[in-house]
Structures are given as C-alpha cells and as structure tokens.
Amino acid sequence: MSVAYPRQPRTTPPSAPGHGAARTVKFHAPEIVFGVGSLQEAAYAAARLGATRPMLVTDAGLLAAGWVDEFLDCLSECGLTATVWHDLTPNPKDHEIAAGHERYREHGCDVLIALGGGSVIDATKGIAVLASNGGHILDYEGVDRAVVPIPPLVMIPTTSGTGADVSQFCIVTDTARGTKITIIGRSLVPDVTVIDPRLLTTMPEWLGAATGLDALTHGIEAFVSLAHNPLTDHHALRAVAMVTENLPHTITDPAEMDARAAMAQASLEAGLAFTNAILGAAHAMSHQVGGLLDLPHGVINGILLPHVIRFNASSDAAPYVEIARSLGLDEHRGTPEEAALAVADRVQRLARDVGVPHGLGALGVREQDLDRLARFALRDACMATNPRTATHAQMVELYRAAM
C-alpha cells in the first residue's frame, strides 16, 4: 500500500471553526437498516436493487439455526427464489471464493446477499469481485484493483464485531502462502446492510467474544490511525465504550436483547470508523496468524491489541487519553503515558474476562514462526496507517511479547 497518511492533529476542539478543514475527507457508508425484527427489509432491499435471481451466501451454522429458512420465506414474500451457497469455512479461502463464483455463474445470479458473519460477508464480496472482473481473487490484493463495478450487495450480519457489512475491506486466505490478503476498494462498500439483533442470539459464546473483541480493536485502531478524521473519531470512541460495557453481558446472558442491540450498534459504529480511517498493527499482525493457523480473527486481536497499544504509545501516547476517558478510566487525568497503559490493561482484562487465551503460544504459534509472521505483517495494508512505524526486529519482538 503506497498511500502516505500524515497524522491528523487532535488539538482543535470539534466545535471550533475550521475543525477538520485542513483536508477533504470522504466517509463511505451503505444504506443502513437497524432494528429487532428487521430481517424482512433485506428481502425488500434485494428486490429494490433489481434482483431476479439472487444468490444467498451463508454457512452451515446459520442453516442449522433456522435463520436461512426464515429469510428464504422473506424472499418468497417478495416473489424471489434464491440460489443458496454455503460451502464455506471460517476465514474464507481463495478456492472457496472461486467455487462460490462458479455457482453464481452457473445459475445466472444477479444480486448477492450475505447472511452470516465476517467470513460469509468477505466471501460474498470476493464472489462479487470475480463476477464482474474475472480472474483469481488473489489478483486483487491491494487498493482499488477491482475496477469494473460489482453486482449489488445486501448484507445481513449475524455476529457483532467484524464490521464487514459496512466496510470497503475484503479479507481472503491465500492457501498457498498460508497468509491473509487484504482487498480494499470503494466498490466493496455494500449497498445495504440490515442489522437485526435477534440474529446474534444464536452465536456460540466463543464467537460472541471473538467478534466483540474485533469491534473493540476496530474502534481503538481507527481512533489512533494516521487516517482518522473528525467524521470517524466519534464512531470509534462510541464503539470502544459500548463494547467494553456490553460484551460481558452478552456472554453471561446471551438472550438479553438490550445488550445484544448495543453490541450490534457497537459493531456498526466500529465498522463505520475503520472502513474510513483504516486500521493498524494489531490487524496487520492478526491477519498473518489467522492465515497461518486458520484461527478466529477476533481472538488473535484480543491477545495482540494490548501489546500494540503499548508499542504505539511509547512513540505517542496522546491519542489514548480520549480512549481512556471514554472507558471511564481515572488515568485519563494523568499523563498520556499513564492513560495509554491503563487502556492496554483494560483491554487485556476484558479479553481474559471473556475467555481469550493469555498468549499466542496457547493458539499454536511457535518461536520459529515469528520471523515469517513479522515479514508478512510489515507488508499488510493495515500497517500503512499504524501511528508508529516498525522495523522487522520490532515486529518480531511484538509477536514475542504476545506469546
């Protein structure tokens, strides 16, 4: 990723004249429908976008939970019958996206609908890229490589954290190299996302914890990103506070709808923040571990994020003061360094409270993997907006600290 992002100052109060006027910013977002019982709206959206032969991408877990059948009934009420494809595993693989695209072509599909978590949504985006641009999905690694407009996208997220339903990102596992690639482009922002918090209630506990920590990482990394702006900061801080307050409640009382709705909103706000401000080193590093070991992305983030916060803060701790304030930490009244360390400790405590392992070693990462992981992490697009640059040796040490 060759774009350079100079750090944007936070010294001007948001209400002051000219705040944010030093540069022009863009804020990408889909049409958003939010509310308990809103699933039917996704069928209306598909019809409105011109669907005649929609393709529904989902997974086996959503089929078993009954959500696919409920949504197919919604489509039927709109006079639509969908081609359903669900041959997906977590962390969508390049060959799986190729298979999904083949199904799309075989059935002459048009509008694409994703019913699932981040893996389902990323796979749907990948299928859309191939539907219009052809080739192999790995051809599109980087920024704005898919130049032909893609089919309409309707997203129905069933987890509370990935933000993929509002983002311009598509993450795909390169199975030959054992890493994840990042595809970024304005065209990947979906047309419509329909967020029905009911669909979160059937997540396994570990998935709720993992995706919640992913949303937390999105919020923190977006706020300190070199590409942050006044339009993203508010969403990022709200997401951080909402995840920290509500994630434990969804673990202890999974059917409690207020906490579920709050987590759904936190995921949305974090997604709006990071798709416009991009991310940082925690995601760059997490992508490599996930690609190597095919592990849950949010769990890896939960382990790495405190270490990345401490690393970044040793260069510039000031952005973490507002994060500490949003979390109600007394240290926001102290030095910036104290505030940043308090944020890192709070994140680490939350991760452990919801059952995340204490280190990467518990996930299967070995000392001999660190050099390779560091090499790939430094090439990841998310490193371009991390507030502190890193050498290869520093990246290895960051991984080692998280072991």
pLDDT of residue 24: 85
Q: Domains in the chain: how many in total?
A: 2
Is the pTM for the entire model greater than 0.75?
A: yes
Range of the domain at 136: 31-200
Span 215-230, average pLDDT: 97
- Decide if 211 contacts 117 (C-beta within 8 A): yes
Query: 208: closest CA among 167, 246, 156?
Result: 246
319 and 367 co-located in one domain = yes
Q: Are residues 127 and 216 in the same domain?
A: no
* Residues 169 and 214 grouped into a single domain: no
| Res 50: pLDDT | 97
pLDDT tens-digit readout, 283-305: 999 999 999 999 999 999 999 99
Structural domain includes residue 22: no
**Domain co-membership, 233 together with 371:** yes
- Ramachandran class of 341: left when φ > 0, alpha when ψ lies in -120 to 50, beta otherwise: alpha
Q: Are residues 282 and 175 located together in one domain of the fold?
A: no
Helix (H) or strand (E) holding 305: helix 297-313
208 plus 191 within the same structural domain = no
Q: What is the pLDDT of residues 354-377, one digit of tens each?
A: 999 999 999 999 999 999 999 999
- Residue 347 CB coordination number (10 Å): 27
List, for residues 49-64, the tens digit of each pLDDT value. 999 999 999 999 999 9
Residues 142 and 212 grouped into a single domain: no
* Whole-number Å distance between alpha carbons of 230 and 236: 10
What pLDDT, on a 0 to 100 scale, did the predictor assign at position 23? 75
Domain shared by 212 and 181, yes or no = no
Q: Given its phi and psi angles, is residue 240 left (phi above 0), alpha (psi -120 to 50 degrees) or beta? A: alpha
Find the CATH number of the domain harbouring 322.
1.20.1090.10
Residue 93 pLDDT: 97
Average pLDDT, the chain: 94
Average pLDDT, integer, range 88-114: 97
Residues linked to residue 116 through DSSP beta bridges, in sequence order: 157
- Under a CB-based contact definition with an 8 Å cutoff, are residues 85 and 123 in contact? no
Same structural domain, 217 and 187? no
Here the tokens at position 397 are 């040490």
Q: Which of 182, 200, 218 is the last residue before a domain boundary?
A: 200
Q: Of 181, 200, 219, which residue is a domain's last?
A: 200
CA distance 259 to 253: 9
pLDDT of 263 reads: 97
The pLDDT of residue 7: 54
Question: Is 336 part of a structural domain of the chain?
Answer: yes
Q: Examine the domain organization and report whether 357 and 259 are in the same domain.
A: yes
Residue 403 DSSP code:
-
CATH code of 132's domain = 3.40.50.1970
Q: Which helix (H) or strand (E) holds 131?
A: helix 118-133
Residue 290 contacts residue 364 (beta carbons within 8 Å) = no
Q: Are residues 318 and 169 in the same domain?
A: no
Residue 21 has pLDDT above 60, yes or no: no
Distance between CA 388 and CA 394 in Å, rounded? 11
d(CA 366, CA 137): 29
Task: With respect to residue 319, please indicate whether it lies within any of the assigned structural domains.
Answer: yes
Which residues, in sequence order, are CB contacts of 105 under 8 Å at separation 6+?
Answer: 131
* Residue where one domain finishes, among candidates 156, 182, 200: 200
Q: Do residue 79 and residue 165 come from a single domain?
A: yes
The answer to whether the beta carbons of residues 78 and 43 sit under 8 Å apart is yes
106 lies in a domain?
yes
**Tens-place pLDDT, residues 310-367:** 999 999 999 999 999 999 999 999 999 999 999 999 999 999 999 999 999 999 999 9
Q: Using CA atoms, how far apart are residues 146 and 137, in angstroms rounded to an integer?
A: 10
